[in-house]
Amino acid sequence: MARFPNYDSSARFYHGTSADALSPARIKTWKKPEGAIVHALHRAEWGGYHYIVTGVNDKGNAVLEGGWQNNRQMGLHPEHRFVENVREELDAPDE
């Protein structure tokens, strides 16, 4: 699957993460964000969350559904997150 950031085998978390994976500027470049999959580390760096993007709100932020994988909800880590299944992120070999 296409992903942002691109796969990095040396990255500590998720083989590559980025604080701007869900930035409104990045989301604005996606023609069809619905169906994108967001993976994020827990704020305290234990456990993880997985969401599906269901749309974009009027501020340009992704509307997320999911995150039920963790019983101590504290929100997404501000830096350790990545997005898959966005055609516009298709830019690396083997994606």
CA distance 89 to 10: 20
- For the chain, which residues make up each domain, given as ranges? 3-89
Tell me if 23 sits within 8 A of 83, measured CB to CB: no
In tens, the pLDDT along 43-57 reads 888 889 999 999 999
In tens, the pLDDT along 20-49 reads 999 999 999 999 999 999 999 988 888 899
pTM score, whole prediction: 0.90
CA distance 79 to 76: 8
